[in-house]
Amino acid sequence: MLKKILLNGVLCAALLSTPVIALENELFIYEMLLSKDNSAHAKVAAQSIHNKDIANLELADMVAQVLADSLAKNKKQTVDTQAWLLKALGASKSQRYQQLIQSIINSDADSKVKKYAKKALARLSESATNSFSAGDVNLTAIAKRVEQQQTNVKSKATRELFDKVYTGDTITSVIDTLGIPKRIDINFGTKRQWGITATYSMLSFKYGDFGNIVFYFQNGDIANWIVRKIDNSAPFSGELSKHPILGHNASVLRSYVREAMNQTSATQLDFDLAAERLYNGSDDDSFIDALAWTCKFLATSGSATYRQVLEHVIAQTDSRKLRKYATKSLRQLPSGDSKQYQKGDVFKTQ
């Protein structure tokens, strides 16, 4: 009999044993995403499992449970996410999920969901001794265990190791070098491709005060999460209140953000200070152009973290010019579930 699998043994051992195997830690990342009860997280996990063709029954059971819950309990999984969950089940190749998928085909589910259910069913070529049933996996219990494991795991990250991560590295090599991150954010970006606007997913790993590592998925021969950007959070050594971004000179503010954009030299602190500056605003008309440049500067962060502050500018400013550039900058930032920068956040780390 195939025993009910809840991802306890193998993945827990991956975190606690030495040496740690990067692939097992990578699977733990997908377990984290699937346990979040969030459509965006589930979608990215399913995309990863499908695109990397991961035939792992532990993860597949979680995928099946998330899918079953979304159908039976009317959970807020989008049709697109449900389609990706079915693709991920297809990657398992196990007929353990045949009954669940067939029930979807026979239901009144969305036509897109049924389409991918049929495709997933066609991939299930490996026999199984029993079928998956809704309720086989306790996602709430897994979410609590995952949170506890994240709390207990000792970070491997140091400044020296963080500086050895480079653009183009794979997710497995980053995890092998720095370990499991304390926080993961999901972002979505868009790009023009073959005359249409295509959406792509991004993972952002937060490694404490060292910075963030942003991944995008590269298809083709590599078919893996690849480091796209590294946000190095080297601290500013002076008093934040005297930082050029927070000063009272519009020319200095404009020059600073334009130079940071031209040299692509901005740090995470620069972006947080820019957000703080926008929250502060100004009654001085001479600052409008400098604040417009600050909006453009935030757009180069590529982070959904700053969407709220730009929305604040749009709602509060009386300047058509500033509203125009805040709106343009907001459109350039990806959507996602990132924690939003709040007024005063930059001073809480001091």
Mean pLDDT by 10 residues, the chain (350 residues): 38 35 73 88 93 92 94 75 96 96 92 95 94 92 86 80 84 90 80 69 86 83 79 62 83 82 73 94 86 94 92 94 95 86 82
Burial (Cβ within 10 Å: 0-12, 13-18, ≥19) of residue 37: middle
- Where in the chain are the domains? 9-151, 155-232, 240-348
In this prediction, residue 272 carries a pLDDT of 92
Residue 182: what pLDDT? Answer: 81
Q: Residue 123: what pLDDT?
A: 96
Are the beta carbons of 57 and 90 closer than 8 angstroms? Answer: no
Q: Please state the separation of Cα 292 from the chain's center in Å.
A: 28
What lies within 8 Å, CB to CB, of 100 at 6+ separation is 64, 67, 68, 89, 131, 132, 134
Cβ neighbours of 54 (radius 10 Å): 17
Element (H, E) at 28: helix 22-34
Q: What are phi and psi of 182, to 5 degrees?
A: -75, -25
Cα–Cα dist 268/321, whole Å: 26
191 exposure class (CB count in 10 Å sphere: 0-12, 13-18, 19+): exposed
pLDDT of 330:
94
Q: Look at residues 70, 66, 61 and name the one whose alpha carbon lies nearest to residue 27.
A: 61
- Distances from the Cα of 255 to the Cα of 252, 297, 300, angstroms: 5, 11, 16
Element (H, E) at 162: helix 159-162
Output the pLDDT for position 104. 94
pLDDT score of 13: 37
Among the listed residues 68, 67, 90, 91, the one whose alpha carbon sits nearest the alpha carbon of residue 80 = 67
**Would you state the pLDDT for residue 42?**
92
CA pair distance 185, 307, nearest whole angstrom: 14
- Phi-psi map region of 208: left, alpha, beta (phi>0 left; psi -120 to 50 alpha): left
Q: 150, 123, 118: which is closest to 33 by C-alpha?
A: 150
Query: What's the pLDDT score for residue 55?
Result: 92
Q: Which residues of 231-240 are buried (b: 16+ CB within 10 A; e: fewer)?
A: bbbeeeeeeb
Q: Which CATH architecture has domain 155-232?
A: 2-Layer Sandwich (3.30)
Q: Are residues 237 and 256 in contact, defined by beta-carbon separation less than 8 angstroms?
A: no
**CA torsion through residues 45, 47, 50, 52, sign:** negative
For position 335, what pLDDT does the model report?
Answer: 84
pLDDT recorded at residue 49: 94
Contacts of residue 335, defined as CB under 8 A and 6 or more positions apart, other chains included, come to 187, 188, 304, 307
Report the half-sphere exposure of 304 (CA within 13 A, side-chain side). 18
